[in-house]
């Protein structure tokens, strides 16, 4: 015969009750633990789609909505998005031309599935990192930030990052992964990331970045903006990316609104590759940052905001395009307001857009001080027949206080950019030479640690050492570089007359 269970066996009543209580308590504890762990692992902010973030589950799979329209953008153009792999964030170090890159040096606390969110990829030195506070509050998704920190700037950058993580914003701690960049000839002392993450910041001591004198400024080092852009973009773990400058903040709810739009019918009748453009606006005086397009429309109509990066064109329609965009109320869902080809309607335009890592990288021969540092990338998109899909309701804004001043009239004009509360300083000027600085203990072995793979990455144009050092202040040098760039890209992509407007 089948044996009786423990609870109903013919044992003394007191012993039977004790064992039944024990079994019940064990089941109750297991249930409570399961509920708590499930909440902790998959908790997300209400602004996001359910299941979009995870503290401990980088392999969590989220499938694309099967009920979307058959002619939706996702199924038509990005049918492989459901196949993207959720990879684990691991630290690595490699050499990229004249620079060392510490990828994923300080990772975000959350990981994100690759196919239903977008990574905001950006760059900065440590004096601009305060922009991450409003940026992450509005973005509410993963951020990949490359920080240029040569010499003693490295320790200051680490202190600033940890202060922001520990004392200012949980969004920065949870959403931002930091990658560090520095010159091979200006190698800092690099503490292990594990040791950095155990530090406790003094939250009672405020960090003041308004009057700092950076190592980069003291040494006259050029800011490798495109090395930083490529580093942040390539390190992103999501299918879609939004490369942007750190002082440009997105409109709210962009990520869920974007994916809802992508599940609808496609605007374009072609299958050409495309990117999704967000118009950018500069906010004047002390106006509050707009959260929605209707907020922005009010600021534009009252003269408190104006467009940035306006495309130049001989066609009257394009000249009035920003006005056409702002005249449309922002009450509807996100959509594409216009589709255009790069080079025809939009020449010499360097907009902010959502794309993928299939797009060409930024040319690392171009530096921040030279301006037009994204033009070559747009030229490559033009040669590859990309379409610009201009988004309605979505936008980028730059807060008050970001004043621009031209300090040189050379071929590559130098530009001083300040952020709120930051004093303007000239990073480089004609005659500034890069100086090799070495000190005891600054050895390249310090860059790597167990588990950090090292890889040398080459980039076109690094044979121009004398041009990198001089800042390309001579018009003749600028012309030679541009001629070489055009020749190389035309060889790879094929020449198109429509794209020549970028260099007229």
Spans of all domains in the chain: 6-42, 92-503
> Predicted confidence band at 88 (pLDDT cuts at 50, 70, 90)?
confident
Which pLDDT value is given to residue 69?
65
What is the share, in percent, of the chain residues with pLDDT greater than 70?
Answer: 66
> Predicted confidence band at 465 (pLDDT cuts at 50, 70, 90)?
very low
In this model, does residue 47 exceed pLDDT 90? Answer: no
> Predicted confidence band at 35 (pLDDT cuts at 50, 70, 90)?
very low
Residues in CB range of 401: below 8 A, 6 or more apart: 418, 419, 420, 421, 422
In this model, does residue 350 exceed pLDDT 60? Answer: yes
| Rounded Cα gap, residues 275 and 359, in angstroms | 9
CB 178 within 8 A of CB 147: yes
In this model, does residue 282 exceed pLDDT 60? Answer: yes
Task: Render the burial of 384-407: b for 16+ CB within 10 Å, e for the rest.
Answer: bbbbbbbbbbbbbbbbbebeeeee
Which pLDDT value is given to residue 496?
79
CA dist 90 to 104, 106, 180, Å?
A: 6, 10, 14
Residues in CB range of 402: below 8 A, 6 or more apart: 247, 282, 417, 418, 419, 420
Residue position matching structure tokens 């939009």: 346
> Predicted confidence band at 175 (pLDDT cuts at 50, 70, 90)?
very high
Write out pLDDT tens, residues 96-108. 999 999 999 999 9
DSSP notation for 286-343? TPPPPSSHHHHHHHHHTTSEEESSPPB-SSHHHHTHHHHHHHS-S-S--EEEEEEEBT
Task: Render the burial of 239-263: b for 16+ CB within 10 Å, e for the rest.
Answer: bbbbbbbbbbbbbbbbbbbbbebbe
> Predicted confidence band at 480 (pLDDT cuts at 50, 70, 90)?
low
Residue position matching structure tokens 């969110």: 117
Write out pLDDT tens, residues 210-268. 657 899 999 999 999 999 999 999 999 999 999 999 999 999 999 999 999 999 999 88
Which pLDDT value is given to residue 455?
40
In this model, does residue 442 exceed pLDDT 90? Answer: no
Which pLDDT value is given to residue 404?
43
Give the angle 279-285-289 at the CA atoms, nearest 5°.
50
More confident residue, 189 or 436: 189
Mean pLDDT, rounded, of the chain: 75
More confident residue, 208 or 142: 142
Which pLDDT value is given to residue 414?
33
Phi, psi of 273 (to 5 degrees): -60, 150
| Rounded Cα gap, residues 170 and 379, in angstroms | 39
Mean pLDDT of 168-187: 97
Q: Model-level pTM? A: 0.75
More confident residue, 176 or 496: 176
In this model, does residue 460 exceed pLDDT 60? Answer: no
Which pLDDT value is given to residue 489?
82
> Predicted confidence band at 309 (pLDDT cuts at 50, 70, 90)?
low
In this model, does residue 314 exceed pLDDT 90? Answer: no
């Amino acid at each position: 015969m089948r044996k009786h269970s423990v609870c109903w066996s013919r044992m003394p009543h007191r012993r039977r009750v004790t064992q039944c209580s024990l079994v019940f308590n064990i089941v109750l504890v297991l249930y409570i633990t399961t509920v708590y762990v499930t909440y902790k692992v998959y908790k997300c902010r209400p602004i996001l789609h359910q299941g979009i973030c995870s503290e401990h589950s980088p392999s969590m799979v989220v499938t694309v909505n099967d009920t979307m329209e058959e002619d939706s953008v996702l199924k038509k153009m990005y049918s492989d998005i459901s196949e993207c792999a959720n990879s684990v964030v691991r630290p690595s170090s490699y050499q990229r031309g004249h620079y060392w890159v510490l990828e994923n040096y300080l990772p975000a606390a959350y990981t994100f599935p690759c196919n239903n969110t977008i990574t905001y990829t950006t760059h900065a030195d440590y004096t601009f990192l305060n922009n991450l506070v409003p940026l992450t509050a509005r973005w509410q998704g993963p951020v990949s930030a490359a920080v240029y920190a040569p010499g003693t700037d490295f320790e200051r950058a680490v202190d600033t990052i940890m202060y922001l993580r520990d004392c200012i914003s949980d969004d920065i701690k949870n959403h931002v992964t930091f990658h560090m960049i520095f010159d091979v000839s200006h190698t800092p002392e690099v503490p292990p990331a594990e040791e950095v993450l155990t530090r406790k910041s003094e939250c009672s001591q405020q960090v003041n970045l308004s009057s700092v004198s950076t190592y980069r400024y003291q040494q006259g080092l050029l800011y490798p903006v495109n090395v930083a852009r490529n580093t942040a973009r390539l390190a992103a773990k999501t299918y879609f990316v939004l490369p942007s400058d750190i002082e440009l903040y997105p409109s709210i709810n962009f990520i869920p609104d974007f994916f809802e739009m992508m599940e609808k019918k496609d605007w374009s009748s072609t299958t050409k590759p495309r990117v999704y453009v967000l118009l950018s606006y500069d906010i004047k005086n002390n106006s509050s940052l707009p959260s929605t397009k209707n907020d922005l429309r009010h600021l534009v109509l009252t003269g408190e905001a104006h467009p940035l990066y306006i495309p130049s064109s001989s066609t009257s329609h394009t000249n009035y395009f920003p006005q056409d965009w702002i005249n449309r109320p922002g009450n509807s869902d996100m959509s594409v307001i216009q589709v255009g080809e790069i080079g025809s309607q939009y020449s010499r335009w360097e907009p902010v857009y959502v794309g993928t890592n299939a797009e060409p990288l930024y040319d690392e021969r171009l530096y921040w001080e030279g301006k037009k540092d994204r033009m070559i990338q747009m030229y490559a998109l033009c040669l590859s027949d990309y379409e610009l899909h201009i988004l309605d309701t979505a936008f980028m804004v730059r807060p008050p206080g970001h004043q621009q001043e031209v300090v040189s009239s050379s071929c590559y004009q130098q530009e001083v950019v300040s952020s709120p509360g930051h004093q303007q300083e000239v990073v480089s000027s004609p005659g500034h030479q890069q100086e090799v600085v070495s000190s005891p203990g600054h050895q390249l072995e310090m860059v790597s640690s167990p588990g950090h793979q090292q890889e040398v990455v080459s980039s076109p144009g690094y044979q121009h050492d004398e041009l990198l050092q001089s800042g390309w202040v001579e018009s003749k040098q600028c012309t030679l570089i541009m001629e070489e760039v055009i020749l190389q890209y035309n060889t790879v992509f094929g020449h198109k007359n429509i794209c020549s407007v970028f260099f007229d």
